[in-house]
Amino acid sequence: MTISPFRGLREHWDRTPLRVRLVASVMLLLTVALVLTSVANVTALRDYLTERMDDDLRERLASDSIGVMIESRSNQVMLSQYIVYLVADDEVSMHRAGYPIERVPVLTAQTLFDQRTIPFTVPSADGRINWRVLAETREDPTRPGVEVILAIGTPTTEVETTVARFVWIGLLVGAAVLAGMAGVGVALVRATLNPLKEIERTATSIAAGNMSQRVPAWHPRTEVGRLSKAINVMLGQIETALAAREASEERALTSEERMRRFVADASHELRTPLTTVRGFSELYRHRGEVPPEEAAELMQRIEAEAIRMGLLVEDLLLLARLDQQRPFDWHQVDLLSVAADTVSAAQVMADGRTIELYTEGGPFLVRGDDLRLRQVLSNLTTNAIRHTPTGTNIEVGLRSDGDFVEMTVRDDGPGMTQEQVERVFERFYRADKARSRSAGGTGLGLAIVAALVAAHSGEITAVSAPGEGAEFTVRLRLDPDVHTGTDEEDDDDDES
Protein backbone atom coordinates (compact mmCIF):
# COMPACT_ATOMS: atom_id res chain seq x y z
CA MET A 1 0.00 0.00 0.00
CA THR A 2 1.43 3.34 -1.08
CA ILE A 3 1.43 6.09 1.51
CA SER A 4 0.55 9.51 0.13
CA PRO A 5 3.35 12.06 0.56
CA PHE A 6 0.75 14.57 1.70
CA ARG A 7 -0.27 12.23 4.50
CA GLY A 8 3.33 11.94 5.67
CA LEU A 9 3.68 15.71 5.50
CA ARG A 10 0.48 16.12 7.51
CA GLU A 11 1.69 13.69 10.18
CA HIS A 12 5.02 15.52 10.38
CA TRP A 13 3.16 18.83 10.66
CA ASP A 14 0.96 17.48 13.45
CA ARG A 15 4.07 16.41 15.39
CA THR A 16 5.65 19.85 15.04
CA PRO A 17 5.49 22.09 18.16
CA LEU A 18 2.85 24.80 18.09
CA ARG A 19 5.37 27.65 18.30
CA VAL A 20 7.21 26.32 15.23
CA ARG A 21 3.97 25.94 13.30
CA LEU A 22 2.87 29.47 14.17
CA VAL A 23 6.19 31.02 13.14
CA ALA A 24 6.36 28.90 9.98
CA SER A 25 2.80 29.84 9.01
CA VAL A 26 3.43 33.54 9.56
CA MET A 27 6.71 33.40 7.64
CA LEU A 28 5.06 31.53 4.76
CA LEU A 29 2.29 34.10 4.52
CA LEU A 30 4.80 36.94 4.75
CA THR A 31 6.97 35.36 2.04
CA VAL A 32 3.99 34.98 -0.28
CA ALA A 33 3.00 38.60 0.40
CA LEU A 34 6.54 39.84 -0.30
CA VAL A 35 6.80 37.78 -3.50
CA LEU A 36 3.46 39.02 -4.79
CA THR A 37 4.35 42.60 -3.89
CA SER A 38 7.76 42.32 -5.54
CA VAL A 39 6.29 40.80 -8.71
CA ALA A 40 3.72 43.57 -8.89
CA ASN A 41 6.41 46.24 -8.34
CA VAL A 42 8.77 44.75 -10.94
CA THR A 43 5.96 44.45 -13.46
CA ALA A 44 4.87 48.02 -12.84
CA LEU A 45 8.44 49.29 -13.11
CA ARG A 46 9.06 47.35 -16.34
CA ASP A 47 5.81 48.62 -17.84
CA TYR A 48 6.63 52.18 -16.82
CA LEU A 49 10.13 52.11 -18.29
CA THR A 50 8.88 50.39 -21.46
CA GLU A 51 6.17 53.03 -21.83
CA ARG A 52 8.77 55.76 -21.54
CA MET A 53 10.88 53.97 -24.15
CA ASP A 54 7.87 53.76 -26.48
CA ASP A 55 7.18 57.48 -26.02
CA ASP A 56 10.79 58.21 -26.85
CA LEU A 57 10.55 56.10 -30.02
CA ARG A 58 7.43 57.98 -31.09
CA GLU A 59 9.19 61.30 -30.56
CA ARG A 60 12.24 60.15 -32.54
CA LEU A 61 10.07 58.75 -35.31
CA ALA A 62 8.31 62.08 -35.65
CA SER A 63 11.52 64.15 -35.66
CA ASP A 64 12.76 66.06 -38.73
CA SER A 65 15.98 64.07 -38.92
CA ILE A 66 14.03 60.94 -39.82
CA GLY A 67 12.29 62.79 -42.66
CA VAL A 68 15.62 64.04 -43.99
CA MET A 69 16.94 60.48 -43.89
CA ILE A 70 14.00 59.27 -45.99
CA GLU A 71 14.56 61.99 -48.58
CA SER A 72 18.32 61.52 -48.82
CA ARG A 73 18.35 57.75 -48.31
CA SER A 74 21.41 58.34 -46.15
CA ASN A 75 22.34 57.28 -42.64
CA GLN A 76 24.52 60.27 -41.94
CA VAL A 77 21.72 61.93 -40.01
CA MET A 78 21.15 58.82 -37.90
CA LEU A 79 21.11 59.29 -34.16
CA SER A 80 23.28 57.15 -31.94
CA GLN A 81 21.72 54.33 -29.86
CA TYR A 82 19.01 53.83 -32.46
CA ILE A 83 18.56 51.67 -35.56
CA VAL A 84 16.29 52.63 -38.44
CA TYR A 85 14.56 50.42 -40.97
CA LEU A 86 13.21 51.75 -44.27
CA VAL A 87 11.00 49.56 -46.42
CA ALA A 88 10.52 50.77 -49.97
CA ASP A 89 9.52 48.66 -52.96
CA ASP A 90 9.53 45.60 -50.64
CA GLU A 91 13.18 46.12 -49.90
CA VAL A 92 14.46 46.69 -46.38
CA SER A 93 17.36 49.00 -45.75
CA MET A 94 18.79 49.27 -42.26
CA HIS A 95 20.84 52.00 -40.63
CA ARG A 96 22.40 50.43 -37.49
CA ALA A 97 24.39 53.38 -36.04
CA GLY A 98 27.57 51.44 -35.49
CA TYR A 99 26.01 48.29 -33.96
CA PRO A 100 27.51 45.03 -35.23
CA ILE A 101 25.17 43.20 -37.56
CA GLU A 102 24.83 40.28 -35.14
CA ARG A 103 23.68 42.62 -32.35
CA VAL A 104 20.71 44.02 -34.23
CA PRO A 105 17.47 42.24 -35.10
CA VAL A 106 16.82 41.02 -38.64
CA LEU A 107 13.33 42.14 -39.65
CA THR A 108 11.48 41.44 -42.87
CA ALA A 109 9.21 43.84 -44.71
CA GLN A 110 6.21 41.70 -43.84
CA THR A 111 7.05 41.75 -40.13
CA LEU A 112 7.35 45.54 -40.13
CA PHE A 113 4.14 45.86 -42.09
CA ASP A 114 2.24 43.60 -39.68
CA GLN A 115 3.59 45.34 -36.52
CA ARG A 116 3.22 48.96 -37.71
CA THR A 117 1.88 51.54 -35.18
CA ILE A 118 2.33 49.03 -32.32
CA PRO A 119 5.66 48.94 -30.40
CA PHE A 120 7.11 45.43 -30.14
CA THR A 121 10.17 43.70 -28.72
CA VAL A 122 12.46 41.47 -30.77
CA PRO A 123 15.82 39.84 -30.01
CA SER A 124 19.06 40.58 -31.84
CA ALA A 125 20.42 38.18 -34.41
CA ASP A 126 22.60 36.50 -31.79
CA GLY A 127 19.87 36.63 -29.18
CA ARG A 128 21.97 38.55 -26.63
CA ILE A 129 20.15 41.88 -26.80
CA ASN A 130 16.47 42.73 -26.96
CA TRP A 131 15.27 45.69 -29.01
CA ARG A 132 12.15 47.78 -28.79
CA VAL A 133 10.92 48.66 -32.31
CA LEU A 134 8.17 51.02 -33.53
CA ALA A 135 7.11 51.08 -37.22
CA GLU A 136 4.67 53.29 -39.15
CA THR A 137 3.65 54.00 -42.74
CA ARG A 138 4.62 57.31 -44.41
CA GLU A 139 4.40 58.90 -47.86
CA ASP A 140 7.67 58.90 -49.75
CA PRO A 141 8.53 62.63 -50.25
CA THR A 142 10.52 61.77 -53.38
CA ARG A 143 7.65 59.90 -54.97
CA PRO A 144 4.27 61.38 -54.21
CA GLY A 145 1.54 58.79 -53.78
CA VAL A 146 3.99 56.02 -52.82
CA GLU A 147 4.09 54.80 -49.19
CA VAL A 148 7.11 53.50 -47.36
CA ILE A 149 7.48 51.86 -43.95
CA LEU A 150 9.78 53.58 -41.50
CA ALA A 151 10.81 51.81 -38.25
CA ILE A 152 13.06 52.87 -35.39
CA GLY A 153 14.44 50.70 -32.61
CA THR A 154 16.46 51.06 -29.44
CA PRO A 155 18.01 48.41 -27.17
CA THR A 156 16.23 47.52 -23.91
CA THR A 157 19.50 46.98 -22.07
CA GLU A 158 19.05 50.00 -19.80
CA VAL A 159 15.51 48.97 -18.87
CA GLU A 160 16.54 45.38 -18.17
CA THR A 161 19.53 46.54 -16.11
CA THR A 162 17.32 48.83 -14.05
CA VAL A 163 14.73 46.08 -13.52
CA ALA A 164 17.42 43.53 -12.60
CA ARG A 165 18.92 45.95 -10.08
CA PHE A 166 15.46 46.54 -8.63
CA VAL A 167 14.91 42.78 -8.37
CA TRP A 168 18.19 42.27 -6.51
CA ILE A 169 17.42 45.12 -4.15
CA GLY A 170 13.97 43.60 -3.55
CA LEU A 171 15.49 40.20 -2.83
CA LEU A 172 17.96 41.63 -0.34
CA VAL A 173 15.37 43.80 1.37
CA GLY A 174 12.88 40.90 1.41
CA ALA A 175 15.46 38.55 2.91
CA ALA A 176 16.30 41.13 5.58
CA VAL A 177 12.61 41.68 6.32
CA LEU A 178 11.99 37.93 6.55
CA ALA A 179 14.97 37.45 8.86
CA GLY A 180 13.89 40.33 11.08
CA MET A 181 10.27 39.22 11.14
CA ALA A 182 11.36 35.66 11.92
CA GLY A 183 13.22 36.89 14.99
CA VAL A 184 10.35 39.13 16.06
CA GLY A 185 7.84 36.34 15.36
CA VAL A 186 9.78 33.84 17.45
CA ALA A 187 9.97 36.31 20.34
CA LEU A 188 6.28 37.23 20.10
CA VAL A 189 5.14 33.61 19.81
CA ARG A 190 7.33 32.61 22.75
CA ALA A 191 5.90 35.46 24.84
CA THR A 192 2.36 34.63 23.74
CA LEU A 193 2.73 30.94 24.55
CA ASN A 194 4.37 31.54 27.95
CA PRO A 195 0.96 31.19 29.68
CA LEU A 196 0.64 27.73 28.12
CA LYS A 197 4.03 26.85 29.63
CA GLU A 198 2.70 28.00 33.00
CA ILE A 199 -0.33 25.77 32.51
CA GLU A 200 1.98 22.88 31.59
CA ARG A 201 4.11 23.41 34.71
CA THR A 202 0.99 23.62 36.87
CA ALA A 203 -0.39 20.42 35.35
CA THR A 204 2.93 18.67 35.98
CA SER A 205 2.90 19.83 39.61
CA ILE A 206 -0.69 18.64 40.02
CA ALA A 207 0.19 15.29 38.46
CA ALA A 208 2.92 15.00 41.10
CA GLY A 209 0.23 15.31 43.79
CA ASN A 210 0.16 19.04 44.62
CA MET A 211 -3.59 19.65 44.21
CA SER A 212 -3.37 23.17 45.68
CA GLN A 213 -1.60 24.52 42.59
CA ARG A 214 -3.56 26.89 40.35
CA VAL A 215 -2.96 28.37 36.91
CA PRO A 216 -2.10 32.11 36.98
CA ALA A 217 -5.10 34.22 35.99
CA TRP A 218 -4.94 36.31 32.82
CA HIS A 219 -7.41 38.78 31.36
CA PRO A 220 -10.75 36.99 30.93
CA ARG A 221 -11.29 38.48 27.46
CA THR A 222 -8.31 36.55 26.09
CA GLU A 223 -8.38 32.91 25.04
CA VAL A 224 -5.67 32.05 27.56
CA GLY A 225 -7.60 33.92 30.27
CA ARG A 226 -10.76 31.95 29.58
CA LEU A 227 -8.75 28.72 29.44
CA SER A 228 -7.01 29.45 32.75
CA LYS A 229 -10.34 30.29 34.40
CA ALA A 230 -11.91 27.06 33.16
CA ILE A 231 -8.88 25.04 34.29
CA ASN A 232 -8.88 26.66 37.75
CA VAL A 233 -12.60 25.95 38.16
CA MET A 234 -11.99 22.35 37.10
CA LEU A 235 -9.03 22.04 39.47
CA GLY A 236 -11.12 23.44 42.32
CA GLN A 237 -13.86 20.91 41.66
CA ILE A 238 -11.32 18.09 41.42
CA GLU A 239 -9.65 19.18 44.66
CA THR A 240 -13.05 19.39 46.37
CA ALA A 241 -14.01 15.96 45.07
CA LEU A 242 -10.70 14.45 46.15
CA ALA A 243 -10.96 16.11 49.55
CA ALA A 244 -14.50 14.80 49.91
CA ARG A 245 -13.35 11.34 48.90
CA GLU A 246 -10.44 11.44 51.34
CA ALA A 247 -12.74 12.70 54.08
CA SER A 248 -15.23 9.96 53.24
CA GLU A 249 -12.50 7.33 53.32
CA GLU A 250 -11.21 8.73 56.59
CA ARG A 251 -14.73 8.73 58.03
CA ALA A 252 -15.22 5.18 56.82
CA LEU A 253 -11.95 4.08 58.40
CA THR A 254 -12.78 5.95 61.60
CA SER A 255 -16.28 4.52 61.62
CA GLU A 256 -14.94 1.03 60.99
CA GLU A 257 -12.38 1.40 63.76
CA ARG A 258 -15.03 2.83 66.06
CA MET A 259 -17.36 -0.02 65.18
CA ARG A 260 -14.67 -2.59 65.95
CA ARG A 261 -13.98 -0.93 69.26
CA PHE A 262 -17.70 -0.57 69.89
CA VAL A 263 -18.36 -4.25 69.21
CA ALA A 264 -15.39 -5.27 71.34
CA ASP A 265 -16.47 -3.02 74.22
CA ALA A 266 -20.10 -4.09 73.92
CA SER A 267 -19.07 -7.74 73.94
CA HIS A 268 -16.94 -7.11 77.00
CA GLU A 269 -19.67 -5.18 78.79
CA LEU A 270 -22.27 -7.85 78.05
CA ARG A 271 -19.91 -10.67 78.97
CA THR A 272 -19.57 -9.39 82.55
CA PRO A 273 -23.27 -9.53 83.55
CA LEU A 274 -23.77 -12.72 81.54
CA THR A 275 -20.91 -14.35 83.40
CA THR A 276 -22.39 -13.17 86.68
CA VAL A 277 -25.84 -14.51 85.82
CA ARG A 278 -24.35 -17.80 84.69
CA GLY A 279 -22.22 -18.08 87.82
CA PHE A 280 -25.10 -17.43 90.21
CA SER A 281 -27.33 -19.82 88.25
CA GLU A 282 -24.74 -22.61 88.42
CA LEU A 283 -24.19 -21.91 92.11
CA TYR A 284 -27.91 -22.19 92.76
CA ARG A 285 -28.15 -25.41 90.70
CA HIS A 286 -25.11 -27.12 92.31
CA ARG A 287 -26.16 -26.37 95.88
CA GLY A 288 -29.44 -28.20 95.55
CA GLU A 289 -31.48 -27.24 98.57
CA VAL A 290 -30.83 -23.52 99.21
CA PRO A 291 -32.29 -21.63 102.16
CA PRO A 292 -34.99 -19.18 101.09
CA GLU A 293 -33.05 -16.12 102.23
CA GLU A 294 -29.92 -17.20 100.27
CA ALA A 295 -32.02 -18.07 97.21
CA ALA A 296 -33.63 -14.64 97.33
CA GLU A 297 -30.20 -13.01 97.44
CA LEU A 298 -29.01 -15.06 94.44
CA MET A 299 -32.15 -14.18 92.45
CA GLN A 300 -31.73 -10.53 93.39
CA ARG A 301 -28.17 -10.51 92.05
CA ILE A 302 -29.27 -12.28 88.85
CA GLU A 303 -32.07 -9.76 88.42
CA ALA A 304 -29.70 -6.83 88.97
CA GLU A 305 -27.32 -8.11 86.30
CA ALA A 306 -30.24 -8.73 83.94
CA ILE A 307 -31.44 -5.18 84.50
CA ARG A 308 -27.93 -3.92 83.82
CA MET A 309 -27.82 -5.91 80.57
CA GLY A 310 -31.22 -4.49 79.61
CA LEU A 311 -30.02 -0.93 80.21
CA LEU A 312 -26.88 -1.60 78.20
CA VAL A 313 -28.90 -3.01 75.28
CA GLU A 314 -31.27 -0.02 75.40
CA ASP A 315 -28.33 2.38 75.30
CA LEU A 316 -26.79 0.48 72.40
CA LEU A 317 -30.07 0.58 70.48
CA LEU A 318 -30.41 4.31 71.12
CA LEU A 319 -26.89 4.97 69.83
CA ALA A 320 -27.64 2.84 66.76
CA ARG A 321 -30.76 4.91 66.07
CA LEU A 322 -28.79 8.13 66.46
CA ASP A 323 -26.12 6.84 64.07
CA GLN A 324 -28.88 6.10 61.54
CA GLN A 325 -30.22 9.66 62.04
CA ARG A 326 -33.76 8.53 62.68
CA PRO A 327 -36.24 11.43 62.98
CA PHE A 328 -37.26 12.85 66.35
CA ASP A 329 -40.60 14.18 67.54
CA TRP A 330 -39.82 17.84 66.94
CA HIS A 331 -41.79 20.57 68.66
CA GLN A 332 -41.23 23.52 70.98
CA VAL A 333 -39.66 22.48 74.30
CA ASP A 334 -39.42 24.60 77.45
CA LEU A 335 -36.01 23.81 78.95
CA LEU A 336 -37.03 25.46 82.23
CA SER A 337 -39.69 22.79 82.73
CA VAL A 338 -37.21 20.08 81.70
CA ALA A 339 -34.60 21.36 84.15
CA ALA A 340 -37.08 21.72 87.03
CA ASP A 341 -38.38 18.16 86.61
CA THR A 342 -34.85 16.76 86.26
CA VAL A 343 -33.60 18.54 89.39
CA SER A 344 -36.62 17.34 91.39
CA ALA A 345 -35.99 13.74 90.32
CA ALA A 346 -32.25 14.02 90.98
CA GLN A 347 -32.78 15.38 94.49
CA VAL A 348 -34.52 12.14 95.41
CA MET A 349 -31.39 10.08 94.70
CA ALA A 350 -28.87 12.79 95.65
CA ASP A 351 -27.77 10.80 98.74
CA GLY A 352 -26.32 13.71 100.69
CA ARG A 353 -25.48 15.91 97.68
CA THR A 354 -26.98 19.34 97.16
CA ILE A 355 -28.67 19.92 93.78
CA GLU A 356 -29.91 23.41 92.91
CA LEU A 357 -31.38 25.08 89.82
CA TYR A 358 -30.55 28.62 88.76
CA THR A 359 -31.58 30.65 85.70
CA GLU A 360 -30.38 33.79 83.96
CA GLY A 361 -32.52 35.60 81.40
CA GLY A 362 -35.15 33.79 79.39
CA PRO A 363 -37.20 32.49 77.72
CA PHE A 364 -35.65 29.03 77.34
CA LEU A 365 -37.71 27.66 74.47
CA VAL A 366 -35.97 25.50 71.87
CA ARG A 367 -37.05 23.28 68.98
CA GLY A 368 -36.43 19.60 69.71
CA ASP A 369 -37.59 16.28 71.14
CA ASP A 370 -38.79 16.74 74.74
CA LEU A 371 -38.02 13.16 75.79
CA ARG A 372 -34.48 13.23 74.38
CA LEU A 373 -33.67 16.62 75.86
CA ARG A 374 -34.84 15.34 79.25
CA GLN A 375 -32.52 12.36 78.74
CA VAL A 376 -29.60 14.73 78.04
CA LEU A 377 -30.05 16.65 81.29
CA SER A 378 -30.87 13.48 83.27
CA ASN A 379 -27.69 11.75 82.08
CA LEU A 380 -25.58 14.79 82.99
CA THR A 381 -27.03 15.08 86.51
CA THR A 382 -26.84 11.29 87.04
CA ASN A 383 -23.21 11.39 85.92
CA ALA A 384 -22.49 14.19 88.42
CA ILE A 385 -24.15 12.25 91.26
CA ARG A 386 -22.45 8.99 90.36
CA HIS A 387 -18.91 10.42 90.15
CA THR A 388 -18.90 12.78 93.14
CA PRO A 389 -18.73 12.03 96.87
CA THR A 390 -21.38 12.79 99.46
CA GLY A 391 -21.59 16.51 100.31
CA THR A 392 -20.87 17.69 96.77
CA ASN A 393 -22.75 20.74 95.52
CA ILE A 394 -24.30 20.26 92.07
CA GLU A 395 -25.77 23.19 90.11
CA VAL A 396 -28.06 22.92 87.09
CA GLY A 397 -28.22 26.25 85.25
CA LEU A 398 -30.08 27.83 82.32
CA ARG A 399 -28.90 31.01 80.60
CA SER A 400 -30.15 32.75 77.46
CA ASP A 401 -27.38 34.11 75.25
CA GLY A 402 -28.80 36.00 72.29
CA ASP A 403 -30.12 33.38 69.87
CA PHE A 404 -28.88 30.52 72.03
CA VAL A 405 -29.72 28.81 75.31
CA GLU A 406 -26.98 27.35 77.51
CA MET A 407 -27.80 24.46 79.85
CA THR A 408 -25.04 23.79 82.42
CA VAL A 409 -24.40 21.04 84.99
CA ARG A 410 -21.60 22.00 87.38
CA ASP A 411 -20.19 20.24 90.48
CA ASP A 412 -17.35 20.88 92.93
CA GLY A 413 -16.28 17.23 93.07
CA PRO A 414 -12.83 15.69 92.48
CA GLY A 415 -12.74 16.74 88.81
CA MET A 416 -10.91 15.09 85.91
CA THR A 417 -7.53 15.28 84.23
CA GLN A 418 -7.14 16.83 80.77
CA GLU A 419 -6.78 13.39 79.21
CA GLN A 420 -10.03 12.28 80.84
CA VAL A 421 -11.80 15.44 79.62
CA GLU A 422 -10.69 14.77 76.03
CA ARG A 423 -12.10 11.23 76.12
CA VAL A 424 -15.13 11.74 78.36
CA PHE A 425 -17.64 11.55 75.46
CA GLU A 426 -16.19 8.34 74.00
CA ARG A 427 -18.34 5.22 74.12
CA PHE A 428 -17.60 2.84 77.02
CA TYR A 429 -14.98 5.23 78.41
CA ARG A 430 -14.83 5.44 82.21
CA ALA A 431 -12.68 7.89 84.12
CA ASP A 432 -12.85 5.48 87.10
CA LYS A 433 -13.64 2.03 85.73
CA ALA A 434 -13.95 0.32 89.11
CA ARG A 435 -16.33 2.90 90.57
CA SER A 436 -18.39 3.16 87.42
CA ARG A 437 -19.00 -0.56 87.11
CA SER A 438 -19.81 -0.96 90.79
CA ALA A 439 -22.29 1.89 90.51
CA GLY A 440 -24.00 0.19 87.59
CA GLY A 441 -22.86 2.50 84.81
CA THR A 442 -22.59 1.31 81.22
CA GLY A 443 -20.03 3.86 80.03
CA LEU A 444 -22.47 5.12 77.39
CA GLY A 445 -24.27 7.92 79.24
CA LEU A 446 -22.11 10.84 78.09
CA ALA A 447 -21.70 9.33 74.61
CA ILE A 448 -25.50 9.33 74.33
CA VAL A 449 -25.59 12.94 75.56
CA ALA A 450 -23.08 14.02 72.88
CA ALA A 451 -25.02 12.18 70.15
CA LEU A 452 -28.37 13.67 71.23
CA VAL A 453 -26.96 17.20 71.39
CA ALA A 454 -25.42 16.77 67.92
CA ALA A 455 -28.78 15.51 66.61
CA HIS A 456 -30.30 18.79 67.87
CA SER A 457 -27.59 20.79 66.00
CA GLY A 458 -26.15 21.86 69.34
CA GLU A 459 -22.75 21.84 71.01
CA ILE A 460 -21.54 20.29 74.24
CA THR A 461 -18.30 21.09 76.05
CA ALA A 462 -16.63 19.77 79.18
CA VAL A 463 -14.30 21.76 81.43
CA SER A 464 -12.56 20.22 84.43
CA ALA A 465 -9.35 20.04 86.41
CA PRO A 466 -8.26 17.75 89.28
CA GLY A 467 -9.74 19.01 92.56
CA GLU A 468 -11.79 21.75 90.87
CA GLY A 469 -14.93 19.88 89.88
CA ALA A 470 -16.40 19.52 86.40
CA GLU A 471 -18.70 21.61 84.23
CA PHE A 472 -20.71 20.35 81.22
CA THR A 473 -22.36 22.98 78.99
CA VAL A 474 -24.96 22.26 76.29
CA ARG A 475 -25.58 25.09 73.81
CA LEU A 476 -28.80 24.97 71.76
CA ARG A 477 -30.33 27.48 69.36
CA LEU A 478 -33.38 29.38 70.61
CA ASP A 479 -36.64 28.52 68.81
CA PRO A 480 -37.08 31.10 65.97
CA ASP A 481 -40.83 31.23 66.66
CA VAL A 482 -40.05 32.87 70.00
CA HIS A 483 -38.85 36.07 68.28
CA THR A 484 -41.78 36.02 65.86
CA GLY A 485 -44.29 35.61 68.64
CA THR A 486 -42.70 38.45 70.64
CA ASP A 487 -42.85 40.82 67.67
CA GLU A 488 -46.52 40.02 67.03
CA GLU A 489 -47.39 40.63 70.68
CA ASP A 490 -45.62 44.00 70.58
CA ASP A 491 -47.59 44.95 67.47
CA ASP A 492 -50.86 44.00 69.18
CA ASP A 493 -49.96 46.12 72.21
CA ASP A 494 -49.20 49.11 69.98
CA GLU A 495 -52.57 48.79 68.20
CA SER A 496 -54.47 48.63 71.50
Annotate 282-300 with DSSP letters as a single string: HHHHHH-S--HHHHHHHHH
Give the integer Cα–Cα distance in Å for 195 and 201. 10
* Mean predicted confidence (pLDDT) in 111-121: 86
pLDDT score for 276: 72
* Mean predicted confidence (pLDDT) in 182-211: 80
pLDDT-derived band at 377, boundaries 50, 70, 90: very high
pLDDT score for 44: 94
Question: Residues 367, 455: contact at Cβ < 8 Å?
Answer: no
Q: What's the whole-number average pLDDT of the chain?
A: 80
pLDDT score for 476: 94
Residue 132 DSSP label: E
Give the integer Cα–Cα distance in Å for 299 and 278. 12
For residue 100, whether the previous peptide bond is cis, meaning omega lies within 30 degrees of 0, is no
CA distances from 450 to 200, 257, 426, 457, 462 (A): 49, 19, 9, 11, 11
Please list, in sequence order, all residues whose beta carbon lies within 8 angstroms of the beta carbon of residue 181, skipping any fewer than 6 positions away: 26, 27, 30
Cross-strand bridge partners of residue 443: none
pLDDT-derived band at 447, boundaries 50, 70, 90: confident
pLDDT score for 489: 44
pLDDT score for 71: 55
* Mean predicted confidence (pLDDT) in 213-228: 77
Over the Cα atoms of the chain, what is R_g? 57
Going along the chain from its start, the domains and CATH numbers come out as: 62-155 (3.30.450), 214-326 (1.10.287.130), 329-496 (3.30.565.10)
Closest CA to 130 of 99, 153, 100: 153
Give the integer Cα–Cα distance in Å for 9 and 249. 51
pLDDT score for 76: 47
Lowest-pLDDT range, 120-124, 177-181, 263-267, 434-438? Answer: 434-438
Please list, in sequence order, all residues whose beta carbon lies within 8 angstroms of the beta carbon of residue 330, skipping any fewer than 6 positions away: 367, 368, 369
pLDDT score for 287: 65
pLDDT score for 438: 45
- Report pLDDT digits (tens) over 281-312: 777 777 666 677 777 777 777 777 777 777 67
pLDDT score for 51: 93
- Report pLDDT digits (tens) over 319-357: 676 666 667 788 999 999 999 999 998 888 888 899 999
Percentage of the chain lying above the pLDDT 70 cut: 82
pLDDT score for 485: 46
